[in-house]
Structure 1
């Protein structure tokens, strides 16, 4: 008997997901929202955003699987009330995001960003290589993705601190929690990496005050959400010398407009939202597990708490 999963995304290929799901569960069919003829038969949705017109026609919907590690692309108030929603956390996403964070850390730690600029200027300026002990890294957000990032950097020999809403113990990572401990966290690191979920409390958290609490000449890396960063404050902090450089993968507007001020600073590296990616081939098993849990009335993996927004 064929079973149907509603698919809705303008960023992901339904064919790739259909193949990955079929390889594990042939009777489970991915159907793009445009091809749904009997919405009342759909019990589970896999989506980046709801189809035009919303999910109202899907009267028997029982579970929703986001195609992202977060759900801030969704207006939770517009989703059907009481329907469980899950984030998609997968090994392919974790691996690619950790790789991005490590590469960015080493780029600033070993001053490759400065040498890139000096190469274009045909300048030869020797500097003694830095020591990891003198380059502590702070990770904002120590959930699945941030925790893996912090653990990897600690394993590579960097002093690592982690800050989150509630305290989380990670081997080799100094833990900070809550707004009261944020100044101490920021004052203890040379580079801050943002992997926070986007909530009303974390929006704009990378701002002028945050930058002022970092040691002068620190670095900023954002692979959380664009709304975490007050972009004008970062440009001002770089112009003032408070922040030495930044690596940014997410932005308030995407694609980033060609005339945006972030493009005008050689100290800022802009990447087009490529820090992490979810591969259908590895993530299909999680989607199927949550499909089965939905039909069995069990809690979803990586379920979203609507009150917290993640």
Structure 2
């Protein structure tokens, strides 16, 4: 029973120790080249597996993150369960980033950074958080964790999701027909959607125009959710006042890309949330034990939905 680890090399020894303590019979192997694919039972990887058909004994493919858009779901055999990384610590860290970003936009920190660069000393109006409407697109574990923390700051909260969600203290909207109504009320928009064919490019010229003029954007979903040229145009026109972007269509963001130098854009290198080793290992071990016991796995991907 081999567990093949293909994630951050610097964390391999910690993963090895944590899994050994919880699943003693599990043989831990690091790297694709270190083992005969036909002997692998469980696989943890960031990247898609080009020759997955060679993994004839594979039972569970663990994504080393919350998203699975890096995998071609049509190539993964039906006999292999694809499992997302769902961990409270990952959600908590994401909520920290979103709260920080929402407060930065609410208190107009990007505008103050522009003023600082020009050595301009000028105060802007200060409004209470309760006067600002924050909308979250994507109401899964990460989205709900962010909303729970934003609630403490007394923001007015909205949420949009493909399927219906009912969340205390959040005005929710469902499906394409209600997207425009949702967007029209978002002073700050947070994107946490999974990347699917239906959400790719969802933040474009048309949808950005549906936001209140001067709205702020936080993208911590995937870069492909945003049509970047349309966002730059919306920023230049003042339709979007500022954007805090952690994900991009191409990563690393290419040298000379206009988002690097736009005065009202903050760029971070896909660090809003990362898998925490202790929590991740606990989730993986739990699912392996469930698999060995013949129980239903947690957090499996719905291949039709794509997440």
In the alignment, what sits opposite 2:96?
99
* Aligned match of 1:17: 15
* 146-155 or 248-257, which deviates more: 146-155
Aligned counterpart, 1:185: 182
**Residues 34-57 of structure 1: per-residue CA shift (max 9 Å, x gap):** 454443332221122245x52222
Quote the residue 1:32 is aligned against: 30
Return the match for 1:5 from 3, 9, 19. 3
Question: What is aligned with 1:228?
Answer: 225
What is the aligned partner in structure 2 of residue 49 from structure 1? 47
Counterpart of 2:206 (choices 209, 213, 219) is 209
Deviation at 1:95, TM superposition (A): 1.0
- 1:273 aligned to 2:264? no
Please state whether the residue corresponding to 2:4 is helix, strand or coil: strand
Q: In the alignment, is the contact (CA less than 8 A) between 1:151 and 1:170 conserved in 2? A: no
The RMSD of aligned alpha carbons is: 1.7
Shift of 1:9: 3.5
Q: Structure 1: 5+ residue runs without aligned partners?
A: none
What's the CA shift string for 1:106-150, capped at 9, x where partnerless?
001111121122122111112231122221000000000011111
Residues 10-159 of structure 1 mapped to structure 2, 5 A cutoff:
13-34=11-32, 36-51=34-49, 53-159=50-156
Q: Which residue of 2 aligns with 1:251?
A: 248
Q: Which residue of 1 aligns with 2:215?
A: 218
- Taking a change above 3 Å as real, the CA distance of residues 11 and 223 of structure 1, as seen in their structure-2 partners, is farther
Change (3 A) 1:163 1:12: farther
Distance in 2, Cα, partners of 1:38 & 1:265: 49
Partners of 1:143 and 1:50 lie apart in 2 by 23
| Equivalent in the alignment of 2:301 | 304
User: Which of 274, 280, 283 is the equivalent residue of 1:283?
Assistant: 280
| Distance (Å, rounded) in 2 between the aligned partners of 1:50 and 1:242 | 37
Q: What secondary structure does 2:53 align onto?
A: coil
SS in 2 for 1:149: helix
1:108·1:219 contact (CA, 8 Å) conserved in 2?
yes
CA distance in 1, matches of 2:23, 2:297: 19
CA contact (8 A) 2:11 2:277 kept: no
Alpha-carbon distance, 1:289 to partner: 1.2
Contact 2:69 2:195 in 1 (8 A): yes
Identify unmatched segments of 5+ residues in structure 2.
none
SS of the aligned residue for 1:56 comes to: helix
Deviations 1:42-84, CA, capped at 9 Å, x for gaps:
2221122245x52222212111111110100111122223311
| TM-score, normalised with respect to structure 2 | 0.95
**C-alpha separation in 2, matches of 1:131 and 1:215:** 18
